[in-house]
Amino acid sequence: MKEGVRQFGVPWLSPTSAARLLTCPASVVGLMTGAPPRSPAPSTRTSAGVLAHAALQRWVMADDWRYGDRDGVLIDHFHAVAKDRKVAVAAVMDGRVTEARLEQRASSLGELMRQAGADATAKAEVTLHDNERRLWGTLDLLVTSERGVWLIDLKSGMDAAQSLLPAVIRSQLMIYSHLVTAVHGRAPTWMGVFSLRQGAKQMPVSQSDDSMLLGLLDESRSAWMANDRPALPSPEACRHCTRRPGCDPHWIALRAWEDADGLEGQLLRAQTAENGRTALLVQNGTGSAWVSNMRGEGLQELVGHRVRVMRIRRRKATGQSSDPPQWQATDSSAIASVGD
């Protein structure tokens, strides 16, 4: 490792920030320096994915995963989390779908964990640090036993639903693998994601890939510290980027993406229905388009502003070809004003 990466003032990298650094250095913000970062506080949000993660944590802490006839209790934990956070599963976007997926996948997740043997110990939300490399991360699920270590990253969205894991997820898993090796003294026996959509997807553990990744991170972090931070837009890297609303290179690139999930232009109208959801009419140089099912307050105040709407889905055309394109908001959609 380069000497510069041993310095106390060098920023810490998590699996998420490390993957961002390798895919789009301009997207990396808010890195911590100094002492090792603390474990993040549990999320109290009420999206379907957050509820599923919290349910998994309860399932593991209660040791329900250990017994095959207790796999279905994962659904009970899901309902309990929703009740504690005062939301109805049916009212959460994709809540019922996530509930069904948890019920469908609980047994296969339990079977994967029980491969570690009867002496296995499972922990959820495990934070590990490599002080020398200035790397850290919080694993969704870690199962250890005499047979080895099982590293499982829970995914509820589309990011892991592809036949091949995206490069960002592979990079994140490799950082997790390095942390497990550094802390536990042995590489994971099984490493991969567990997708609520498609089940387990294993990623091979390779020492040479690990060494190559660490070298790239040293170089990329040194360049980032020297303010060499180019914007390299891609659908994968940009989707959840915190700098997305104001990143002009992204919005220029998005115009050419086949599966674009964003729309920019002047907000002409905002119509709020009785259920509190709002339909937005946005106009730009190519015409106008509707975005339905948008959540949030203050949307009426943005009428007349130039806005950028993110993480939305294009709906299939059902009317006349001359009708404005239709988009639908998701539970992670957002809107930002970028001027009058």
CATH number of the structural domain spanning residue 311: 2.40.50.140
256 lies in the same domain as 197: no
Shared domain for 278 and 324, answered yes or no, is: yes
Q: Which domain holds residue 148?
A: 3-225
**Could you report the per-residue pLDDT of 215-225, keeping only the tens digit for each?**
999 999 999 99
Paired strand residues for 269: 281
pLDDT per residue as tens digits for the range 8-42 = 689 999 999 999 999 999 999 989 999 999 888 88
pLDDT class of 4 with cuts at 50, 70, 90: very low
Same domain as 10, residue 125 = yes
The pTM of the whole model exceeds 0.75? yes
The number of C-alpha atoms within 13 Å of 302 and in the hemisphere containing its C-beta is 25
Residues 66 and 122 in one domain: yes
d(CA 182, CA 159): 27
CATH of the domain at 218: 3.90.320
Nearest to 237 by CA among 26, 13, 11: 26
**165-185 tens-digit pLDDT:** 888 889 999 999 999 999 999
Residue 54 lies in a domain: yes
Question: Residue 230 domain-assigned?
Answer: no
Beta bridge partners of 128: 137
Q: Would you state the pLDDT for residue 161?
A: 56
Among the candidates 191, 207, 225, a domain finishes at: 225
Percent of the chain clearing pLDDT 90 (strictly above): 73
Q: Which of 177, 199, 225 is the last residue of a domain?
A: 225
What is the total count of domains within the chain? 2
